[in-house]
Chain A
Amino acid sequence: MSSRDKILSAVAANQPRLSPLPDVDFLKGGEINAVEKFTEVLTAVGGKVINIAKLDEVTAYIEMNIAAGERVVNLLSEPLGMRAPQTDIKDLPHALANIELAILQAEMGIAENGAVWLNENRLGQRVTPFICQHLVVILDKSNVVPTMHHAYEKIGNEKYGFATFIAGPSKTADIEQSLVLGAHGSRSMTVFLRDI
């Protein structure tokens, strides 16, 4: 008997009488100001939120904050100027180790925890939002939902290969519970909230 068969038959023999699944839709809760809450929570966990009307403002941000010579990659479908070349990053993931700033489009933001939902098909490589030193995410205001329940409702049964929620810069408090931003993922995370 294979281990698989051994395990499955032991489980089948030992599992209790079937108990029903509960309804979870009612957990969505009431209406909230999602954009306001999203901004409040993401800021509290160490992210930055900047409201913009046009993408030019992102270009200006890059000019001001990233030193010349640092590698910037733009994975949006729109251009952001010479400093941030559009790319679909066909490199090996390892060749992305020198990315100073990556600019990505988020599918959606979740107000209750300040997270954005990023789908593999707009990341170039899966490692992009983790390996860059600094992360910039563009999020349309109309895509901010109140809770995780709303998020999964929107995701539905979409067939992605990889996707992730990211809520702020990487961090750790493993050394005597002192919070340090910038563990193994990005050191900072800035979300540009677009008026769409």
Chain B
Amino acid sequence: MKKIRNRTHLEKIRRKLLENRESGKRCITISSGTCGRVSDSQKVVEAIYTAVKNHGVEDKVYIRVTGCHGFCQVAPILVIYPDGIFYQQVTAKDAEDIITETILANRVVDRLLYVDPTTGQKIVYEKDVPFFVKQKRLLLGNNRFVDPTKIEDYIAVGGYKALGKVLFEMNAEEVIEEIKRSGLRGRGGAGFPTGAKWESCNSAKGAIKNVVCNADEGDPGAYMDRSLLEGNPHSIIEGMIIGAYAIGAQQGYIYVRYEYPLAIKNTQLALNQARKYGLLGKNIIGSGFDFDIKVAIGAGAFVCGESTALIASVEGKMGEPRAKYVHTVERGLRNNPTNLNNVKTWANIPLIINYGATWYSKIGTEKSKGTGIFSLVGKINNTGLVEVPMGTPLREIIYDIGGGIPEGKKFKAVETGGPSGGCLPAKLLDLPVDFERLTEVGSMMGSGGMIVMDENTCMVDVALYFLNFLEDETCGKCVPCREGIKRMLEIVTRTTKGLGKEEDLKLLEELAETVKDFSLCGLGKTAPNPVLSTLRYFRDEYEAHVRDKKCPAGVCKNLIEYFILETACTGCGSCLKLCPQQAIKGELKKPHIISSENCIKCGICSDACPVEAIIVR
């Protein structure tokens, strides 16, 4: 591919690339994002290449290694296009059969098909997989068709078309107007109207302006930004170039957490390729617009997801937030006007330019337009990334798409918004997911993490988890956050140990109020949310811990006991052998007993018991 001279040249290249793609060959697509690789997807890739070579079918197929397809529960995923034959949990050993059976003999490899757990039916085609049926994968869908290390793939599927339109048909104000009309709101958490942000940055005084992509994704349990950046980095790059044009910025930064090495690698590669082909740098595709992007790497600080802390980190400093009374759009990076947006926000931009604000604004609800991408994780059958129109009810996401709770257990709560969000109980399952609704019920959308919890999750323990996390991650600058979170943690810790007092809950609420009202930055202001939401919806659990010294869910160690059911125990001795404290006694084939004095509640015995004779009470 040659350096792109102008828009016409770009379209010519695109046509040619498309021709090559649709050359009559079938495409074997293998999902190989970070979690795919943990499941040895790279071995599958190697095996497929080998099998293709061994059977000499290079004229019939070509192979595409892509990023995450989103149905992480059944990774590695292999799909054969254009048919759409969907194989899941593929191993290297399956490569041979895939080539001989499906490619050569046009037969489906039965054992690799997805089985619908409710009907028992085997699903052949991707479009029929229940996980995908109710989704609207406007952003993530493209991950299937693009090898992130090949810019040609992105261009072939329509990449940089929006850029061409913007640079040669629209001026900055028109772009801003279009984004405003679309109703797009920031996908980082706060949901600030993107068009308005761009407008403020555009009118801010200053010759040097910056655009920044926040790929810090620190919320534990959220990984959709990683999947987008790993799997389709150009979609973000294109969005940023358009944004820079609209704002008048010359320099862009993509700030990626260092815990995402593959995303960093693929982004740097994509930037290099974009530069090579004239899509970044001076005189972008002959438009006269100069703009380039650098990658900045994080170093392990959740607080750097906050915009002012992130900017400090890009400047090489400690990630300490500052008050946003003067917004970053006016004074940000090196005191210059800076427009910061989340990965998903940038990825939405080419979509809006290509299909128009009117089309976009028809998706979603009145105040929350477009699709939301949620990482559905925890106690859920179908762990993965879910993209649905804003306003989709929680029930649909968790049951229709997520497949419900494993092992027939009962749904208890879903946590949205990470450490800044809250836990929502079963009675709120019909809540439509959008910015306003989630905030109204005491949570927030945040980056889109959705952690599902079942009857065996202790909500006080969940609050403890988040407080521990926040105590670790607070920058420590301001008193309410640093001291307040510490003291809230002390109270909740006491509670989980059965040492909680009646006055504690009132004190906890007072503390929560101060931390919320008086903290300097978003981390502190939202830190009390997990505690407040669990108090709101699960107060009875707190009270059980305080008054009765009991943990109803059977989690808090000091309040539970591991007990062997005499009637169920077969005396096999598996638990006895594994107990690290030698706390189990018993003769072979006779019921065993756990000495509660020595028991450290590690749970190894209960895991090991083949007849489920060990219970927690």
Query: Do the two shown chains form a genuine complex with each other?
Result: no
Q: Which residues of A contact B (CB under 8 A)?
A: none
